[in-house]
Amino acid sequence: MGMRATLLYGAGDVRVENVPDATLKLPTDALVRVTAACICGSDLWPYAGKAHDSGPARMGHEFIGVVEAVGAEVTSVRPGDLVIAPWIISDGTCEFCLEGKQNACVHLSMWDMEPDEGGQAEAVRVPFADGTLVKVPAGVDAALMSSLLTLSDVFGTGYHAAVAGGVTPGSTVTVVGDGAVGLLAVLSAKLLGAERIVLMGRHRVRTDLGREFGATHVVATRGAEGI
């Protein structure tokens, strides 16, 4: 058995250690070699709040990679495929998944709930690979990899916000906050056809990026005056 690196979070400590290779355990599993991963804000909460006597934990729930091996029952991906791994694990076949509500899957899990897996590692065992992994079409430009990585979590969050907010072609939209989710909500509103997009934020670097993503106005003021 080989050894691969993984990022471990302890109490106020982050370190890279070599651990045994992830391996297939069930016929519905896939083994993915991670090519890019993010550190999410929610990764930092347990890092900052873990008790000092608690053991290290593998972290990371936003990653893309290349399939190295699949279980006997996996049909949607094959070794060599580039895949995006969403932040939740779902079987893809239950009544909720079939309605597009994978976050209510009867077999729902998350990477931080899988004790031996984490996306900030060289390789990951992916349960329910057919329901969880999203195959990327062949021939994608390498320059797009960082953008594809956003599809594992944060872009979907911003897009859901825009859809849930009722954005339609010609809409006027206000996005409150210029963090990653807010910026991708701006981009999503643009993709959904919003005509006027107001971004409320006070970080010039971020709001400039928001303008690139489609914001037509930026409001830096807060409180009653901002409204």
Residues 196 and 161 both lie in one domain: yes
Indicate whether 41 pLDDT > 50.
yes
* Whether pLDDT at 39 is above 90: no
Q: Which of 107, 133, 150 is the last residue of a domain?
A: 150
140, 172: one domain: no
Q: Model confidence over 141-168: pLDDT tens digits?
A: 888 888 899 999 999 999 999 999 999 9
Shared domain for 116 and 78, answered yes or no, is: yes
141 and 169 fall within a common domain: no
pLDDT of residue 7: 63
Whether residues 121 and 174 fall in one domain: no
Query: Which of 101, 123, 150 represents a domain boundary (last residue)?
Result: 150
Res 115: pLDDT: 76
Q: What is the CATH number of the domain that holds 81?
A: 3.90.180.10
pLDDT at residue 142, rounded to an integer: 84
Given this model, what pLDDT does residue 227 score?
87
* Same domain assignment for residues 175 and 107: no
Q: Mean pLDDT throughout 29-52?
A: 81
If asked whether residues 20 and 121 sit together in one domain, one would say yes
DSSP 30-95: EEEEEEEE---HHHHHHHHH--TTSPPEE----EEEEEEEE-TT--S--TT-EEEE-SEE--S-SH
Stretch 12-22: mean pLDDT: 76
Question: Per-residue pLDDT for 104 more than 60?
Answer: yes
**What CATH number corresponds to the domain at position 199?**
3.40.50.720
Higher confidence at residue 46 or residue 116? 116
pTM score above 0.85: no
Cα–Cα distances (Å) from 10 to 109, 135, 144, in that order, read 22, 33, 32
Across the chain, mean pLDDT equals 89
- Domain range for residue 97? 3-150
What pLDDT is attached to residue 1? 47
pLDDT of 66 higher than 90: yes
Please check whether residues 124 and 187 belong to one and the same domain. no
Residues 96 and 137 in one domain: yes
